[in-house]
Amino acid sequence: MAVKRWVPVLLLAAAGLVGCGQTLAGSAAVVGEQRLTDAQLADTTSELTEKLGIPASAQVSQALLSRWVVAELVDELASRKGVDVTKGAVDAAIADEQERAGGREALEQGALQSGVLPEQIPDVVRTSLLIEEISKTTITGDDPTGQSGLLVQVQQLSDELQPQISPRFGTWDAQQLTVGALPDDLSTPVVTEALGQLRQTQQ
């Protein structure tokens, strides 16, 4: 599981019915009972852009929102299916990748280039492992990896939970599988790779 694959796999999202109201007060996004506050998004955006040496922009915030929303959908789906991964499994996956990367610093730099802050690595890896485990439950003869079945289930859950995005940041775009347009300097390669993986699983 290479570092650059952690973020693409998180983009397995689908159509979310976007709304705005009192439930969004002070929040950048809400998925079910989980919410990402304006302050949390602002802090992450500021730290990430500073470390990458790029200007803060609405597009960077949109990329971070996209990842958060999909991670929440995956986490809820895993909970409903009784799927979990242990901290030990997450630590082992990080250790393996750290060894392949050539050390902790190299691992963190690789993750950073994919828009993942060092402290976010465990959460991103956990979500990736959850996706792998859920996919095992949706394998069929026509879908040997389970990825297509996973996508359908995430789509259905998204329709049910109706993720809400503050209009300051855009709307949930089912075609692009993200919130608004993604920035060329951060996430376009990630989205291109993710969509390529999805096309391969559906062939």
Supply the pLDDT for residue 186.
Answer: 42
Pairing of strands 178-179, 172-173: antiparallel
Please check whether residue 69 is in contact with residue 29, taking contact to mean a CB–CB distance below 8 angstroms. yes
Q: Which element (helix H / strand E) includes 150?
A: helix 147-161
Question: Which CATH number does the domain housing residue 50 bear?
Answer: 1.10.4030
- Selected residue with higher pLDDT from 191 and 60: 60
Q: What pLDDT is recorded for position 203?
A: 44
Quote the pLDDT of residue 173.
63
Residue type, 107: L
Look at residue 159 in the predicted model and tell me its pLDDT.
83
Number of domains in the chain: 1
Give the mean pLDDT of 158-176: 79
Share of the chain above pLDDT 90, in %: 46
Residues β-bridged to residue 34: 31
Confidence (pTM): 0.76
| Angstrom distance (rounded) from CA 203 to CA 198 | 9
Burial tier of 150 (Cβ tally within 10 Å: 0-12, 13-18, 19+): buried
Q: Are 56 and 46 in contact (CB under 8 A)?
A: yes
Residues 6+ apart with CB under 8 A from 98: 104, 106, 107
**Which residues constitute the domain of residue 86?**
3-202
Model confidence at 129: pLDDT above 70: yes
Q: How many CB atoms lie within 10 A of CB 142?
A: 8
pLDDT in tens, 178-192: 787 544 444 444 433
**Distances, alpha carbon 71 to alpha carbons 75, 77, 96, in Å:** 6, 10, 22
- The per-residue pLDDT for 160 is 87
